[in-house]
Amino acid sequence: MLILGLESSCDETAAALVTDKREVLAHRLARQDEAHRPFGGVVPEIAARAHVEALAPLVEAALADAGVTLADVDAIAATAGPGLIGGVMVGLVTGKALAHAAGKPLVAVNHLEGHALSPRLADPDLDFPYLLLLVSGGHCQLLLVEGVGRYRRLATTIDDAAGEAFDKTAKLLGLGFPGGPAVERAAKDGDPRAVPLPRPLVGSGEPHFSFAGLKSDVARKAGKFPAADLAASFQQAVVDCLVDRTRIALGKAPQASALVVAGGVAANGAVRGALEALAGEHGLRFVAPPLWLCTDNAAMIAWAGAERFAAGLTDPLDLAARPRWPLDPDAEKVRGAGVKA
Ligand code: KG4
Ligand code: ZN
């Protein structure tokens, strides 16, 4: 089975061809860093226009790389949300048009489901259920992944996502954009114990996250300490929060057979190392996708599409894009939580 995947929900435009045998035949990606850099963050309107320009050539290039045509594809998977609505619409409409033109089924993929299932593309031995720490620029959640389409949210952030905190810290410290990799690089030359910073919610009985207070404290201390020490201390504080919160979630998910991390922040070496140690303490396997599969890409969308298609799930061509789309709509509302799903 061969699936074409499309991704355009934030600032990466991507197309990939993946088989149900876990072969990534092609994956093409265009970043928009240069377009957003002057603004220090992603500008939705600029992102949507860039997706329009980039997507069709990327699809053609991916098909050429794989040496196939649309006729060889079994289904077309496109991110249908959550994300920046303009970008999501570009990818979804493109997916619908290709599906209609080639007479192929459309599989609408939740971007978060793409991240959640991506570790199974990388690791054939990863079976359900597993505990997933999903840490990206827009989300910070702990999910029990019970099967395709079956996600139980055990925790979420009550304010910022971890990646957002990395991005804002990078901005405060003048480290540039995108922020996560810049903070990680700066942290290599700093002392993680040099600057006292808070660990919001650490020690609380529910595994939720909060990063707004940490970010504000970095803002107060910026300029008063060397940037490398601030970056290292910030990164350590995030790691401590992620590990403590994940430990609480593991206590609530004894059925989990592995600890898995996915999403852009999973590309961070300190985060990966600390979670691997935590899994070891619990005698659990630790699975983290390769770095290119952690940050946004279309292979994870194609793979989630393959898993959904194999389960008999396809979608109508009049399906609407969903800027908000929680993976677990039944999850309890968190007291004090903002608008993030
Ligand atoms: O999954 P992703 O590519 O897009 C979203 O769906 O949000 O995640 C992007 C986020 C950004 O906030 C970025 O700063 C962060 O992941 N990130 C990192 C690293 N690489 C990317 N954060 C910390 N360390 C990294 N090496
Ligand atoms: Zn993402």
Which domains are seen in the chain, by residue range?
Answer: 2-115+293-310 (3.30.420.40), 127-289 (3.30.420.40)
Q: Does the annotation flag 135 for ligand binding?
A: yes
The answer, yes or no, to whether any atom of ligand 1 lies below 6 A from the CB of 296, is yes
Residue 41's pLDDT band (cuts 50, 70, 90): confident
pLDDT band of 319, cuts 50, 70, 90: very high
pLDDT > 80? residue 340: no
Question: How confident is the model over 198-256, as pLDDT tens digits?
Answer: 999 999 999 999 999 999 999 999 999 999 999 999 999 999 999 999 999 999 999 99
Give the separation between CA 230 and CA 226, rounded to whole angstroms: 6
Q: Is 138 annotated as a binding residue?
A: yes
Termini Cα distance of the chain: 32
- Region 21-37: mean pLDDT is 93
Q: Which of 84, 141, 166, 261 to mutate to test the pocket of ligand 1 (most atoms within 8 A of CB)?
A: 166
**CA pair distance 78, 4, nearest whole angstrom:** 8
At residue 341, the pLDDT reads: 41
CB of 190 sitting under 6 A from ligand 1: no
Residues 135-167 have pLDDT tens digits of 999 899 999 999 999 999 999 999 999 999 999
211 CB within 6 A, ligand 1: no
Structure-token pair, residue 239 = 């790691």
The answer to whether the CB of 119 is under 6 A from ligand 1 is no
Q: What is the pLDDT of residue 61?
A: 98
**pLDDT confidence of residue 333:** 81
To the question of whether residue 111 is assigned a binding role by annotation, the answer is yes
CB of 295 closer than 6 A to ligand 1?
A: yes
DSSP alpha helix (H) spans, the chain: 33-36, 44-66, 85-102, 111-122, 162-172, 179-187, 212-221, 227-252, 269-281, 291-294, 299-310
Cis bond leading into 178, ω under 30°?
yes
d(CA 179, ligand 1 centre) in Å: 8
The residue among 262, 216, 270, 215 whose CA lies nearest residue 243 is 270
Q: Is 134 annotated as a binding residue?
A: yes
Question: Which atom in ligand 1 lies closest to the alpha carbon of residue 296?
Answer: 3
Residue-averaged pLDDT of the chain:
95
Residues 237, 201: Cα–Cα separation, whole Å: 12
Nearest ligand 1 atom, CA 9: 6
Asked whether 138 lines ligand 1 (CB < 6 A), one says: yes
Q: Are 3 and 309 in contact (CB under 8 A)?
A: yes
| Per-residue pLDDT at 124 | 97
Split at pLDDT 50, 70, 90, the class of 265 is very high
Give residue 335's pLDDT: 67
Q: Give the tokens for residue 18.
A: 């993946």
Q: Is 268 annotated as a binding residue?
A: yes
SS3 29: strand
The confidence band for 37, taking pLDDT boundaries of 50, 70 and 90, is confident
pLDDT at residue 293 tops 70 = yes
268 CB less than 6 Å from ligand 1? yes
Task: Look at the chain and count its residues.
Answer: 341
339 has pLDDT over 70: no
Cα-to-centroid distance, 189 and ligand 2 (Å): 28
Q: pTM for this structure?
A: 0.93
Residues 80-133 pLDDT 10s:
999 999 999 999 999 999 999 999 999 999 999 999 999 999 999 999 999 999
Taking 80 as the threshold, does the pLDDT of residue 338 lie above it?
A: no
| Closest ligand to the CA of 180 | 1
Residue 336 has what pLDDT? Answer: 63
Selected residue with higher pLDDT from 232 and 43 = 232
Q: Residue 39 pLDDT more than 90?
A: no
| Confidence (pLDDT) at 291 | 93
- Ligand 2 centroid to Cα of residue 208, in Å, is 19
Residue 172 has pLDDT above 60, yes or no: yes
Q: What does the pLDDT average to over 13-35? A: 96
How does DSSP classify residue 22?
Answer: S
